[in-house]
């Protein structure tokens, strides 16, 4: 069985598209995939109730076709069964996680060793079907998990981060996710209307992300939470938050979160709230979650040296 992580973004969504650093945290379980040889060539995603022919006109089928076109081995006559623990298109990196898991499953069934650079580039091409011009952050997180500082580029800079003291994040899904491509386009238009603000705003995101790296490494949760609040404010400035996301962040703070922010592209989807500890995280879920707020606790363990 092939695996890929989900992710939440602690810092730097949107500004990462403009070359500023971002920080992602892997979410496990994310996605598992098992491939088999079959003439049907299907992609079955049971948790989402989807069975697609790989030749169908459907965004997921389209992206798998682009993925296959960029993999350096024969992917004809392969079907794949996918199990995902991530909500579709809600800011937790579901598409990137799916594509990484599918590529790894196809490589497994063909007995091919897929190197990281080839996998990264193939998923980058396939993610373009969903995002237009993805930064690569989502699938870097899907490949490596852990806590990761990412700067886009060719090649991108990916730095595994030390976590000075375990953190517990509560992920609340407050609405269906927005359209990432459209949200990224909206940010570009807004920045284009205020050219003198573009660099200072984006630099502020970058400074917050790097202060966040320090706070994460030092295990300084109070500082980390406040930086999440600041990052949320910057995302509001870019126009990607919604009243439901802002209200959800305020509710989480009132329920004891040290900080809260939307995570991912925004326009709906998920927010993350930093809990002081595991029992507080559960208490926050009980207090804030309701029928329309799906919740999940993500534990990021303390570590000095991160994943390979």
Q: Which residues are catalytic?
A: 138
Q: Per DSSP, what are the bridge partners of residue 22?
A: 150
Residue from 75, 97, 173, 180 touching ligand PMV (CB under 6 A): that is 180
Query: CA 252 → CA 90, 174, 293, distances in Å?
Result: 18, 12, 12
Is residue 145 near ligand PMV by the rule CB under 6 A?
no
Measured between alpha carbons, how far is 126 from 119 in angstroms, rounded to an integer? 11
Distance CA 274, CA 261 (A): 9
Cβ atoms of 205 and 20 closer than 8 Å: yes
Q: How far is the CB of 286 from ligand PMV (least distance, A)?
A: 27
Q: What's the Cα-to-Cα distance from 7 to each of 88, 148, 169, 188, rounded to whole Å? A: 13, 10, 12, 24
126/101 Cα distance (integer angstroms)? 13
Regarding 264 and contact with ligand PMV (CB under 6 A), the answer is yes
Instruction: List the x/- string, 77-106, binding to ligand PMV by CB under 6 A.
Output: --------------x-x-------------
Q: Does 14 bind ligand PMV (CB under 6 A)?
A: yes
Residue with smaller CB distance to ligand PMV, 32 or 135: 135
Nearest distance, CB of residue 54 and ligand PMV, angstroms: 23
For residue 284, CA distances in Å to 26, 51, 87, 157, 253 come to 21, 36, 20, 35, 9
Scanning 12-20, 64-72, 200-208, 223-231 for contacts with ligand PMV by CB under 6 A, the matching segment is: 12-20
Residue 149 as a binder of ligand PMV (CB under 6 A): the answer is no
Question: Which CB sits closer to ligand PMV, 34 or 66?
Answer: 66
Closest contact distance (angstroms) between CB of 231 and ligand PMV is: 12
Long-range Cβ contacts of 289-296 (<8 Å, 24+ apart): 289/172, 292/174, 293/172, 293/173, 293/174, 293/248, 294/87, 294/172, 294/173, 295/170, 295/171, 295/172, 295/173, 296/27, 296/170, 296/171
Q: Which residue is nearest to ligand PMV (CB)?
A: 264
Asked if residue 21 binds ligand PMV (CB under 6 A), the reply is: no
> Total number of residues binding ligand PMV (CB under 6 A)?
15
Cβ 280 vs Cβ 173: under 8 Å: no
Task: Confirm or reject binding of residue 41 to ligand PMV (CB under 6 A).
Answer: no
Instruction: Provide the minimum distance between the beta carbon of 253 and ligand PMV in the complex, in angstroms, as a whole number.
Output: 22
Q: Measured from the CB atom, is 164 or 269 closer to ligand PMV?
A: 269
Q: Does 75 bind ligand PMV (CB under 6 A)?
A: no
List of residues contacting ligand PMV (CB under 6 A) = 13-14, 16-17, 91, 93, 131, 134-135, 137-138, 180, 184, 264-265
């Amino acid at each position: 069985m092939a695996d890929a992580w989900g992710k939440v973004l602690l810092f730097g969504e949107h500004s990462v598209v403009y070359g500023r650093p971002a920080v992602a945290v892997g979410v496990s379980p994310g996605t598992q995939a098992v491939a088999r040889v079959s003439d049907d060539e299907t992609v079955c995603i049971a948790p989402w109730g989807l069975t697609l022919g790989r030749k169908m006109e459907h965004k997921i089928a389209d992206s798998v076709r682009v993925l296959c076109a960029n993999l350096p081995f024969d992917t004809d006559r392969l079907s794949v069964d996918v199990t995902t623990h991530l909500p579709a298109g809600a800011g937790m990196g579901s598409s990137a996680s799916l594509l990484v898991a599918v590529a790894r499953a196809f490589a497994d069934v063909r007995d091919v060793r897929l190197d990281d650079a080839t996998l990264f580039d193939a998923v980058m091409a396939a993610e373009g079907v969903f995002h237009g011009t993805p930064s690569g952050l989502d699938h870097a997180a899907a490949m490596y998990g852990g806590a990761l500082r990412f700067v886009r580029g060719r090649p991108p800079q990916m730095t595994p981060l030390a976590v000075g003291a375990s953190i517990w994040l509560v992920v609340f899904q407050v609405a269906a996710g927005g359209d990432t491509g459209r949200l990224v386009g909206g940010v570009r238009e807004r920045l284009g209307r205020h050219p003198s603000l573009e660099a200072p705003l984006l630099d502020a995101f970058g400074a917050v992300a790097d202060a966040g790296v320090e706070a994460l490494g030092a295990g300084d949760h109070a500082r980390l939470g406040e930086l999440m609040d600041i990052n949320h404010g910057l995302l509001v400035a870019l126009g990607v938050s919604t009243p439901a996301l802002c209200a959800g962040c305020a509710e989480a703070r009132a329920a004891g979160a040290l900080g809260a922010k939307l995570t991912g592209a925004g326009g709906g989807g998920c927010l993350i709230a930093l809990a002081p500890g595991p029992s507080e995280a559960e208490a926050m879920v009980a207090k804030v979650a309701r029928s329309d707020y799906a919740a999940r606790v993500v534990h990021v363990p303390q570590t000095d040296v991160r994943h390979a």
